[in-house]
Amino acid sequence: MLYLIGLGLSYTSDITVRGLESIKKCSRVYLEHYTSILMAASLEELEEYYGKKVYLADREMVESGCEEILRDADKEDVAFLVVGDPFGATTHTDLVLRAKKQAIEVEVIHNASVMNAVGSCGLQLYNFGQTVSMVFFTDSWRPDSWYNKIWENRKIGLHTLVLLDIKVKEQSIENMARGRLIYEPPRYMSISQCCEQLLEIEELRGTKAYTPNTPAVAISRLGAPTQSFKSGTIEELSRSDCGEPLHSLVILGRQCHDLELEYLLEFAEDKLEFQKAVSQDQEYFKPEPWVPPIEEED
């Protein structure tokens, strides 16, 4: 059996009872280690808590060398651990499909992820549209495919969850070209950098999917002991220091319920200014009032 087990967001103990019981009977345990990190637990702490050796599975192993993970999984139990939920922000359907092609049984054990825990900022999950990812820009690569998704969400009034890039065990272009297995230090995108990139692309595109005055909420270390939220405009958050990673951002949609706003005001430095920004944004992309067609006379 191959177990895909969600670990939750932060603590060793965030794992479900069923997930922990499954790990304890597995002969090998792998931890996916390139899309997120468990903020309040080290690898050593996980191994002590599980009573098992845990192998780190980087992107190369999962995407190219997954046969090692699947080895003998038709005869014994193997666990593949994912921070959050196995089918949350990052899905692992390819691994499941490969297992099924080899007649390996698969069981998924779910857990909390950013996709549902984001509701703790006060915004209703029903009011979220498409989720987008913001990657680190480079001198030669500044992708903006996410822009249209934000525009579509904003057009129908829905909030947009923006997941910020992390770089774990990544190689520089030079080292990759030379075949040197030298890895860059881990990097985690900040709220301010995300907002700067948002504003840069809006200036280039110029179609006003959002503006510097669009209200948003910064989410820091979701599910961790130091979890925090900060409400403000994109421009304001581009100048903010939200502390240690991990970070996410929500761009508000036009349809912001009164209860959502009341909750968000608790995280605003200037409540009146933020309320004003939200009120102005209510008019943004507001549909034209419906006017009945004029009936032609016979």
Q: Binding site residues for S-adenosyl-L-methionine, as ranges?
A: 9, 85, 88, 113-114, 164, 222, 247
Q: Is the peptide bond before 56 cis (omega within 30 degrees of 0)?
A: no
Which one, of 218, 215, 222, lies nearest residue 271 by Cα? 215
Backbone angles phi, psi at 271, to 5 degrees: -60, -40
Residue 244 DSSP code: S
| 264, two tokens | 């968000």
CB 78 within 8 A of CB 27: yes
First vs last Cα of the chain: how many Å apart? Answer: 74
H or E stretch at 160: strand 160-164
| 123, two tokens | 């915004």
Helices (H), the chain: 17-24, 43-50, 59-63, 67-70, 93-101, 114-117, 146-155, 173-177, 191-205, 234-237, 258-265, 271-282
H or E stretch at 74: none
H or E stretch at 248: strand 247-251
CB 252 within 8 A of CB 159: yes
* Burial zone of 141 (CB within 10 Å; 0-12 exposed, 13-18 middle, 19+ buried): exposed
The span from the CA of 283 to the CA of 113, in Å, is 32
